[in-house]
Amino acid sequence: MNGRLFLILLFFLSLCVSAYTLIGPEESLDLFERAMREWSVGNSEKAYGYLKLAIEGEVYVTDLPEYWFMIAKLEMELGRVEEAREALSNVLILNPGRREVLNMLDIMDSLMHGIPKKNDMSHIGIFKRIHGFVEGMEYFYTPVDVDMRGEEVLVLDRMNKRLIISEGSTFQVIELSGTPRSLVYDPRLDRIYCSDVENGTIFFVDPKSTKVENLYSGLHYPVIFDIDRAGRVLVGDLFDDAIYMISHDGMVLRKYDLMEDGKITIFNDAKIVFERMYIQDLTNRVYRIVDILSGKKVGEIKFPYDDALPLSFDVDGYGGLMILWSDGKFTYVNEDGKVRELKLSEDEFSEFSRFKYRPPFILFVKPFDHSIVLCSVEREDPEYINIITAIDVGLKEIKLEFTINTFTGNCVSTVRPFLTAYDSGGRVSFSYRRKMVETKIYETRDLMGFLKNDLKKLNRRTKNYVLVYQEDVEEKKEILKFLLPVKMKNVTFYLLKNENTKVSPQLEDFVHISSGMILNSSEADELKNYLESSKYCMEEIEYPTTFSMRSVKPVTIRFHT
């Protein structure tokens, strides 16, 4: 009896071994190709099943690192972070020192600690100049403000009453009325907001149709300072001693009166970072910090110099201040108060009047030279996270879709000049474009449940917005481990909270790194209306196929300023 039982077990074992060995290296490649196709259309679960089946069979030794690397990406997308880390370790055993694996492990570790306390600017250098006079033609004469729309630079010309859109060699001219003074670009709506100090209005321009529409009237001397991640435009009325927050559909959502103890405050700039507004208060020589949710002052930073006034400033996601001074200095002041003076090869800061920080650039206005100067920025630590969201391999070309953001969740205005692509044949030449993709909005009252159960179902080839309605937001540090899966699924979270609800630092960092922000629950309808009107562009490159469809060799992109 025992002998029969042994023979039966041996028979079934031989069947299992036979079934296992049926998957040879070519069949494994077939399964890998199926997995890649499913992954490219967003079916991560199905792709994972094919890959696990493939790696249980025979695999060419040279292909093993790519199998494990792809398994790691899928484990990550499915929210299994520790399993992904183990798969990446397998890649390093087979292919020690592989750069993109080390980068992914470094990003995973960094995200687990949230936003760093500092990541100082260490250097800026001139990248490009855009001149108002080109080959005897005057495009702009008195630039007063600047911004970026993708690779295009937006210049506001006060004297000629026009808006210029240029990438350096071509110029689009949009005629305006009144006296234009300031502008800001909203990438989600593809709108250019401008102020008219002659008529006291805020209007916006559609860059495609060049149509101009009024947004808000009734101000005295409006200057646009900034725009936040919910599309609210920050406008200072310099004659009214107040700052207004205006929605994308022209409603005044908040008014911040700056008068203190009956005294007028002279201010000339303000910026929003996450849920805080920084106001350049010239009267008291401080940067006043206001919580935009409550409207209360929560702190201030004294000007580091007593013998000069700031003309313009900006704030990064680490709380660092970039300041342009009246005596020709340009400084970076980090969260600890350390002041670093930055210099250019040509000492031009005394000729600049205003600037904006648009990663990877700082855009300076140089009025007397009738030009705009673009400077690239370097920091002490890595700043950018790039994620490949799809690879489409054709007989003649390969297409890669990807996203690039700063570590603090800000979009990157210009990508192409700093991008390199590699496959098994080495570095490749490519064509680049921005591709419009669908946006979807989800709502939940259970954030952790959404991350554990629903995140893996989202399509990474769309832009996904998640509105989280939460009364109890006492998440633990565990939430930060989902940040890389969130990035890989192209998801942005907005937290809508009750007025008196406290938010943990970990949850704040989670929302901010995802490119979202925290709002009061009463602002939900306005936010939904804004996001429903929004657009989103994915980065895409295309280059000729340089390897066989049967290959699983690596394809990777690198972004470095």
**Residue range 138-192, pLDDT digits in tens:** 889 999 999 999 999 999 999 999 999 998 889 999 999 999 999 999 999 999 9
Name residue 85's amino acid: R
Evaluated on CA atoms 110, 114, 115, 117, the torsion sign reads negative
In this prediction, residue 184 carries a pLDDT of 98
Average pLDDT for 421-450: 88
Burial of 156 (0-12, 13-18, 19+ CB in 10 A): buried
**Residue range 518-541, pLDDT digits in tens:** 999 999 999 999 999 998 888 888
* 287 has a pLDDT exceeding 80: yes
* C-alpha–C-alpha distance, residues 233 and 270, integer Å: 11
For residue 93, the surrounding DSSP H or E stretch is helix 81-94
**Residue range 46-71, pLDDT digits in tens:** 888 888 888 888 888 888 888 888 88
**Residue range 326-384, pLDDT digits in tens:** 999 999 999 888 999 998 877 678 899 999 999 999 999 999 999 999 999 999 988 89
* C-alpha separations of 130 from 330, 344, 345, 373, 540 in Å: 21, 17, 18, 7, 26
Q: With contact defined as beta carbons under 8 Å apart, do 145 and 181 qualify?
A: yes
How many CB atoms neighbour CB 262 within 10 A?
5
**Residue range 18-33, pLDDT digits in tens:** 344 467 888 888 888 8
Q: Which residue has the higher pLDDT, 5 or 463?
A: 463
121-379 has CATH 2.120.10.30 classification:
yes
* 42 has a pLDDT exceeding 70: yes
* C-alpha–C-alpha distance, residues 499 and 496, integer Å: 9
Cα–Cα nearest to 203, from 195, 231, 223:
195
List where CATH 2.120.10.30 sits in the chain.
121-379
Name residue 381's amino acid: D
In this prediction, residue 304 carries a pLDDT of 93
Q: With contact defined as beta carbons under 8 Å apart, do 388 and 401 qualify?
A: yes
* 5 has a pLDDT exceeding 50: no
In this prediction, residue 16 carries a pLDDT of 42
In sequence order, which ranges of 41-63 are alpha helices (DSSP H)? 44-55
Q: With contact defined as beta carbons under 8 Å apart, do 85 and 76 qualify?
A: no
In this prediction, residue 53 carries a pLDDT of 87
In this prediction, residue 498 carries a pLDDT of 87
DSSP structure string for 477-514: GGGGGGHHHHHHTTEEEEEEE-TT----HHHHHHHHHT
* C-alpha–C-alpha distance, residues 510 and 90, integer Å: 28
**Residue range 390-434, pLDDT digits in tens:** 887 777 888 888 899 999 999 898 888 998 888 766 788 889 999
* C-alpha–C-alpha distance, residues 539 and 525, integer Å: 30
Name the class of domain 19-113: mainly alpha
Q: Which residue has the higher pLDDT, 535 or 203?
A: 203
Q: Side-chain half-sphere of 117: how many Cα atoms within 13 Å?
A: 4
Query: To the nearest whole number, what is the mean pLDDT of the chain?
Result: 87
Q: Cβ contacts of residue 43 below 8 Å, gap of 6+? A: none
List where CATH 1.25.40.10 sits in the chain.
19-113
* C-alpha separations of 553 from 31, 33, 67, 214 in Å: 15, 12, 10, 53
Q: Cβ contacts of residue 62 below 8 Å, gap of 6+? A: none
Q: What letter does residue 292 receive in the DSSP assignment?
A: T
Binned at pLDDT 50, 70 and 90, residue 17 comes out as very low
* C-alpha–C-alpha distance, residues 132 and 141, integer Å: 6
Binned at pLDDT 50, 70 and 90, residue 554 comes out as low
In this prediction, residue 552 carries a pLDDT of 55
In this prediction, residue 283 carries a pLDDT of 92
Q: Which of 73-87, 169-183, 224-238, 547-561 has the lowest mean pLDDT?
A: 547-561
Q: With contact defined as beta carbons under 8 Å apart, do 486 and 516 qualify?
A: no
Helix (H/G/I), strand (E/B), else coil: 530:
helix
- Over pLDDT 70: what percentage of the chain? 92
Q: Which residue has the higher pLDDT, 496 or 471?
A: 496
Burial of 422 (0-12, 13-18, 19+ CB in 10 A): middle
E strand residue ranges, 303-360: 310-315, 321-325, 330-333, 339-341, 354-358
In this prediction, residue 502 carries a pLDDT of 85
Cα–Cα nearest to 374, from 143, 216, 90, 554:
143
In this prediction, residue 203 carries a pLDDT of 97
Q: What is the largest CA-CA distance in the chain?
A: 103
* 236 has a pLDDT exceeding 90: yes
Evaluated on CA atoms 434, 227, 232, 143, the torsion sign reads negative
Q: With contact defined as beta carbons under 8 Å apart, do 38 and 461 qualify?
A: no
Residue 66's φ and ψ, nearest 5 degrees, are -70, -35
Q: With contact defined as beta carbons under 8 Å apart, do 193 and 184 qualify?
A: yes
Binned at pLDDT 50, 70 and 90, residue 298 comes out as very high
Q: Which residue has the higher pLDDT, 436 or 551?
A: 436
Binned at pLDDT 50, 70 and 90, residue 547 comes out as low
Cα angle for residues 217, 223, 229 (degrees, 5° grid): 90
Binned at pLDDT 50, 70 and 90, residue 324 comes out as very high
Q: Which residue has the higher pLDDT, 107 or 410?
A: 410
* 13 has a pLDDT exceeding 50: no
Cis peptide before 360 (omega within 30 of 0): yes
Residue 58's φ and ψ, nearest 5 degrees, are -80, 135
Residue 505's φ and ψ, nearest 5 degrees, are -60, -35
* C-alpha–C-alpha distance, residues 402 and 557, integer Å: 9
**Residue range 499-511, pLDDT digits in tens:** 788 888 999 999 9
